[in-house]
Each structure stands twice: as structure tokens, then as C-alpha cells.
A and B are shown apart, each in its own frame.
Chain A
């Protein structure tokens, strides 16, 4: 009986391992292909397409060079950094007190506020009302048009609220007994205990703002304000329409390499951040996402 059970458990483990391996390959292979495509020399690409493996002696960073030496690249990168840093700062500044308030069970009107917030989660106002609002507030050609509309994510607020609710109430009560007001409770008791959720939600916001593409297209009419994803897309559109363009812009990289390099350039900053906060990230999503 025990042997059967052990064999069954072993088979289950093997099954799980095979499943996870396949799942991993499904994720890794396309990613690997993007990496190979980004580093493939033009003559190899035009000779044989994209091989699965690239010879260690036959690779080039030409596609990255072409994108990163573009005259607008530094500016676009700075714009993305500004949008991301400010976006995260404003979003966190607004989300944390909101989540804290909602996590306080005896807060007057808590259910009503929660209902209003959930309503906006379920029913989006749509593009045109938001556009009218932004133009009415004279926020076109201003980064705030990118940052303010999504500044408070309902999803992130709910996760953070859930996390705060899990913290022992006694800590807050003790602080209040010592004379702390709600802001001091939040600042000196709650936030120091909430690093996982703060970093997790901060990362969510950072990824969101870093990837902003559509709203800059709508609200930023000055090219010097455009963030990196828009610039990269412009470069790629140009390279795909080269029959209408006369000058020799992309003679040293294949269009596919430029696309792949563009993907990697936009991914890398977030990939670099992720390992530093991974240990918090898992804890933050687990605790914040589970409601007991």
C-alpha cells in the first residue's frame, strides 16, 4: 500500500516536472529566439534566416547600436524614466493612504467608498470622456496626462488593502494608545512592516508606466516629450516602410533584428529591477492576494 502510494507520488512528481519543463520551454524558446534575432549579423540573417543557435564568433550588437545611437534615444529614455519615477511616486502616494483607509474596518463610509472604487473597476469611462477631461484640464503635452488618469489602480489598491488588513490590529492600537495619529500609525507602524507589498505594487506601477505607449500617442503632440516605446515603434515603422523612404537608414541590421533589439531594450530595465525585489515580490503577492 505504502509502495503504491510512493510510486503514485513519484509518478505525480515526474508528471509535474515534465509539465513544468514543457511550460518553461514554451516561455524560454520564443524569448531565446528574440535574443538570437537581436544579435544576429545582417549577412547571416540574409543568408540563412534566424538559426536556433548563434555561433559565438558570429554575433553583433549592431541593432542595439542603431537604436541606442538614435538622436532621440537619450531624450526618449529620459522621458520614460521621468514618467515612470513620477508615476510610481504619485501612484504610491495616493494608493497607500487609500488602501490604509480601506483596511481600517471601522472607518465611516468604508463600504460606500469601496463600492465607488469597485464601480470604476467594473465600468471604465472609455476613451473619449477621458480625452475630454484631459484636454479640458489643459494637460495635453504634459506628462501629467499620462500619469494622473491611471494614478490609482483599483486592483493594486485592493491587493494593498488586503495586505494591510492582515497586519495585527494590536500594533495599530498600541500606537494609538501611545498618542499616534492615523498618519503616524501609517508612517511609523504600517509602512515599515509593508515592504513586500510596497515593492510589489511599486513594481506593478513601474512596469505599467514604463510600458506606456498609447496615452503618449494621444496626449503628447511634441516629439521631444515622447517616451521610449513610442520612439522604438516609430523606428520600426520606418524600417518596415523602407520602399517609401529613399535614404539608406538600415543597411547594417535586419528589420527583425531591430524589432527584437527594441523588445529587449524595453524589457531590460524591468528585468534588472526584478531580481532585487523578488523575495519581497512573492511574499507581497501571496499575502496581499489571499483573503482569509
Chain B
């Protein structure tokens, strides 16, 4: 009996040890002897495949990487002579730590995505790696990949952002779908109360009060608020863009008036915008948890019908996973996009468009190993022959193309469809290295559909995205060039907390208190920070 126990335990331990010690390999173990048995070819020996290590985020992190028998690996090997080793790195701070550790050990992969918490930080990190001599300039790669350069690397501003001392050290991928967020209102609530959509901040207040006090959902309960939001971005964040845009003071920096560049809080209209926000808060028309809500909680609340005015991403609003619960709770509910409010001085700006984008870089070690040309070959292939394969899968199996070149799922097995959950591992690189926002691409990603409960026709692009993109946005690409302040943590804390204190009534907003607040910012180096920002933008040719 004891012997049996010993044998079983030994087998288990041996299994565990083997599992633990085995280095992961993509190739089945049986392949090696087969390769050894293959006789030496008499024809000219093909060149050894070049191994390229690629670290990039996943588009759908939960779906995992493509399997080792992914057809793309074989095609890349056969057609390009490249053995691709793709590693998914986590997004945000975790990925940044992983990259930094590899950088510190001079162990960066050949081609990698810069990962951090913000775009500005991405650029800072790229600059750090450049200063450490870890990056290779990529200027000469553009001629090696003409199609990709035309479709992906055609934005001079972005190229400027990855250029240091006259040489380009990053490959700035096209921004995610631009100007994708917007100002929305519950049309069914407006109709129920016989109201018109607001066009000014004052009308916004009136509508918000009505939504809060007149039971717009007709359930007989006092359970609604006019507006919802949460803090996302500097100050009070961009979820209240529709208020600040009416005063021409969106975000941290004033990009509207190039001749008057500086912190927006110095603009007298910022004071007026703050007064408006205070009126809204004091009227109790904003879901009161807004200063502490997370994005997920905010989204749960519009699905619960908690408020009727908000700022939201078009895809977050319309994708099935978010819209279906709302549709089920409120079959008559409709979110209508609105143009910007017009402020007292006639200003009507929608939002600040910063152009969130990804940066890829090539390590100096890869170039030293003679891999630059192979990397360019791979990237060009992704933009040409490999575009559909890496973006959507195989034509005829995972999608079809109609006469206009748009993707269709007609005749495709639903489980094999490019947008089926099972297919996500095969297109993990699509948001990182493949897509560049053509209409066909966006239509494939956000198709029209009929809602399950109310039977409404949902048209994400026509109804929402196109409308949002047509509004009066402020071009804020230049923001990415501005480095963080030396005392960024202190500065940001004082800036954010000060504004919040005024809005929440913890500090009365008076001209004296406001002047004191501005003085506090100056004591933290605001003027010097503005001077640095101005100089940087002037050097980049973005300010006169």
C-alpha cells in the first residue's frame, strides 16, 4: 500500500517538475527528429529564417494569443523568411514595468510597442530608451515599406513626436478612431416632458432640472438626475466637455487661441465655466457620486436610467454588451447626439482631439543583429498581403468582401466569423499594427444591428460616430509634445483638487479665491511650466 502511494506521489511530483522546468515551445517535440531525418537538400540551401521577437498588446486581452499553429506564422515563415515570436504584453503600468525591466537589462525585443499609462508617458519612455541608446533610428525603414508608410506613417505631427535630434526613433501607428466621443441626451425623456434639446449652458441647467424633478421616466419615483459623469482627465475631466466647450476652455491647455497659449484656467471664461458647473452641482442635477465614480460604474448607471445627459464614447454606447441592458430596461429609450452648447460669447467647441496613438520601436540590438530589413519586410506585409489575414482572418472562411470592398458575413459560419469570440486570438494585432481607420474597416468593426428587446435599428457609425466627428473639435495633438512638469504630481494634485473644491462648495468661488488658486499654481511653477510648453511647441512649429 505504502509502495503504491509512493509510486503515485512520485509520478505526480515528476509531472509537476517536468511541467515547471519545461521551457514553453511552440513547436511539437516530435518535429526535431523529423527535421534530423530530412536529407540535406542538393539545391542551394535557403537562407536561415530570421527570428523576430515582437512585444505588443492584445486587442482583446482576455482572448489570449494566436495558437502556435496559426496559419499566419507559417505564411510569414514561408513568404518572408521570418520566424515571428509574438508576445502579448499587458497594457498600462504593468506593461510599462515589463518593458522597463527588459530595457534596464538591455533585453528589449526586436520590435515592440511602447506601453505606459498615457500617450505623453509613452513618448517620455521612448525618449528615455533613446537616450539610453537602446533604440535604432528607423528613418531608412520607410523606403523599405512604401505602402505602410503611406497608410500608417503619414501624419507629420506624429512623426515629429518620435523624432529626436533629427532622427526618427519610433513608428507612430495611426490614432484610434478619431473624435469618437460626444454629447448625448435621452430623447425619450425630452419628449415625455415636452422639452427641446438644450443649446446653451442655461438651457442645459433647465433641462437637467426638469430631468431631475419631473420624473422623465414616468415610474412615479424621484430616482433620476439630469446629468451623469465621472472624472477622467485633468481638472474635472472631459466628461463635462459640453459645459467647458461652451466657454472655449477645454482641458488643461488653451489650444484654441494660439496667440494666447497657456493654461486654460487663466482665461476669464474658465471662471465663468466654473460658475456654471457650481450652479449645476448646487441644483443637484448631477448624479451626486460623479466625483468618485469609476468608468464601469458610470456605464452601469446610464444603463439603469439614472441620468439623461452625458458624454460617452460611441462604441461604448452602441456595442451590444453595453446597449442591450439599457435596451432591455428602457425599450423606448433613445440616446440622441447633440451639437455643442453655445456659450455667452458665442463659443461652441465640442472637445479636445488629442489623437491617442500607439508607438512601436525597433531595438538597437535587433539592428546590430542585422534584422532591420526583415522587420520592415514584416511590417510592409502586414499592411499589404497580410492585412486581411491579421485584421479579420481568411477570406471565404472568416469573412467575405462585397462588391464595394466592405466586409460581409453572408455565407460565413457564425462560429468562424471574424467577430466571433473564438476568432479573437487570431486577430490580436489588429488594433496595434493592422488597422488604419478606413470606412470599410470601421464598418466591419461596428456594424449596424437590430436591438434584441426593442427591435430598434442601431447604426453606430451613421447615427453617432459621423455626427460626433462632424462637430467643432479643437485640435490638441500638440498636447503630446508638452513634457510633464518637473513637479507633476504636486502640480496636478493642486490643480485637480482646487477645481473640485470650488465645484463641490468646499471652497467658495470668488474672484479673490480664484486669484489665490492661480497664485498657488504659480507658486508650484505654473508660469515656468507654461514657458517650457510654449518653447517646446514653438520649436515644433506649432505656435507662432
Seen from chain A, the residues whose Cβ lies within 8 Å of a Cβ on chain B are 42-43, 45-49, 70-72, 78, 82-83, 85-86, 89, 127-128, 131-132, 135, 141-144, 147, 214, 217-218, 220-225, 231, 233-251, 254-256
Contact = CB atoms under 8 A, between A and B. Distances in A.
Contacts of B16: 82, 85-86
B98 interface: yes
B21 A248 contact: no
Contacts of B87: 221-222
Looking at chain B's contact residues, is the secondary structure mostly helix, strand, loop, or mixed?
A: helix
Interface in B41-96: 55, 58-65, 87-88, 90-91, 94
A82 B420 CA distance: 32
A142 B13 CA distance: 17
Contact of B24 (A47, A225, A231, A240): A225
Contact of B101 (A89, A128, A225, A233): A128
Given A234-B61, A234-B64, A242-B319, 12 more contacts: A42-B325, A49-B300, A218-B101, A224-B24, A231-B62, A234-B90, A235-B61, A240-B296, A247-B421, A248-B421, A255-B296, A256-B297
A238 B60 contact: yes
A143 B22 CA distance: 8
A281 to B, nearest CB: 24
Contacts of A144: 20-21
Given A46-B300, A217-B98, A245-B60, A250 B105 contact: no
Given A143-B19, A143-B21, A242 B322 contact: yes
Nearest to A253: B321
B324 A247 contact: no
Size range of the interface on B? 35 or more
A256 B91 contact: no
28 contacts: A42-B325, A46-B304, A86-B16, A86-B20, A127-B97, A128-B101, A131-B101, A131-B104, A131-B107, A141-B24, A142-B20, A142-B23, A217-B94, A218-B98, A224-B24, A234-B62, A236-B62, A237-B91, A240-B295, A240-B296, A241-B91, A243-B316, A245-B319, A247-B419, A247-B421, A255-B299, A255-B300, A256-B296
Contacts of B316: 242-243
Interface string B398-436: 000000000000000000000111001000000100000
B420 A247 contact: yes
B192 to A, nearest CB: 19
Contact of A222 (B24, B301, B326): B24
A246 B319 contact: yes
B193 interface: no
The 6 nearest A-B residue pairs measured at CB: A243-B316, A222-B24, A143-B20, A238-B62, A46-B325, A235-B62
